[in-house]
Amino acid sequence: MRRLAPWLLFSALFLGVGLLAEQSWRRVRLGLPEIGRRQLEPTVGQGVLLGVLGGFRTVVADFTWIRSYVLWEKKTDRAGTELLMRAACALDPRSRFFWENAGLTIANDMGHWEIRRRGGYAKVPKDIQDHVLRGYARRGLDLMDEGVASTGGNAALLASAALVAELQLKDLALSADYYRRSAEARHAPWFAARFAAANLWKEGRRREAYDWYRAHWLKTLRLEEDGAPDDLKELRDMEQELRLPLLARLPLQPWEVAQPGLSTKPGDNVTTKPPVGGQSRK
């Protein structure tokens, strides 16, 4: 027992220090980007984990991305490309670039690779093609959702997710939801609010589209340096098409009167042309 006593004492000492370190780690981990253990496990043996150990997370993430890009150019190794792209995301989960490009690659490209692998567009029936393309679009969108959570709701990433939902999944409601979240996030792209309203409008939820767009304009867009006149024009068009009574419309802004052609009177026809090259309600 006397021989064991020092070892028991040291074990107790290290357990005590370990408890102190646990308290410290609980605080530290809140400030550190979490590494996705599951994403990194398949890359063991490829230098990725060693990079994490050595502290070069950003650098290893960049080189992992370059390796995934080499595979992407070959367009044949779907699993390898996705694995490395996910590893880059896991290594640096706060970087929008990795999440956005990995999600877009999976959603836009990989379905086509899969169809080619199965014999090409002439051989694979159309409904199977659609099923495959939608499956990969969903998969890409899921990855982007992870990215949105990891980056704290990055506005540009949300806008990219909205694009995938609209163009690949043909889901306007989902797309509108992503655009809405993007518009409400920090550093929102200028088009996010308009596209959110436009997609809701095209879905047939016209009144909802107007109400949200109006509330967003009053709360956020109106406070911008130029007062977001293009968005106000769009809102005026909506008011016309919804045939809202004068009192239910947005109050006339002082600067609208000063700019001829901007304000629309209740009886006028719609004056705003659909924006060229952008997304329109029409």
Alpha-carbon span 181 to 155, nearest angstrom? 8
Residues 33-72, mask of contacts with another protein (x by CB under 8 A): ----x---------------xxxxxxx--xx-xx------
Alpha-carbon span 61 to 123, nearest angstrom? 38
Question: Which of the stretches 22-30, 114-122, 138-146, 169-177 binds another protein when contact is defined by CB under 8 A?
Answer: 22-30
Question: Which of the stretches 15-23, 118-126, 198-206, 254-262 binds another protein when contact is defined by CB under 8 A?
Answer: 15-23
32 binds another protein (CB under 8 A): yes
119 binds another protein (CB under 8 A): no
Q: Are the C-beta atoms of 136 and 76 separated by less than 8 Å?
A: no
Nearer to another protein, 42 or 275 (CB): 42
Helix (H) or strand (E) run with residue 16 in it = helix 5-28
Place of tokens 């990855």: 143
Among 2, 4, 5, 23, binds another protein (CB under 8 A): 23
- Output the smallest distance, CB 6 to another protein, in A: 6
Question: Which of the stretches 31-39, 137-145, 201-209, 272-280 binds another protein when contact is defined by CB under 8 A?
Answer: 31-39
Alpha-carbon span 222 to 216, nearest angstrom? 9
Nearer to another protein, 14 or 255 (CB): 14
**55 — alpha (psi -120 to 50), left (phi > 0) or beta?**
left
- Output the smallest distance, CB 11 to another protein, in A: 7
- B/e letters for 213-233, b = 16+ CB within 10 Å, e = fewer, are bbebbeeebeeeeeebebbbb
Nearer to another protein, 88 or 232 (CB): 88
Note the Cα 128 to chain centre separation in Å: 27
For another protein, the binding residues (CB under 8 A) are 6, 10-11, 13-32, 37, 53-59, 62-63, 65-66, 92, 95-98
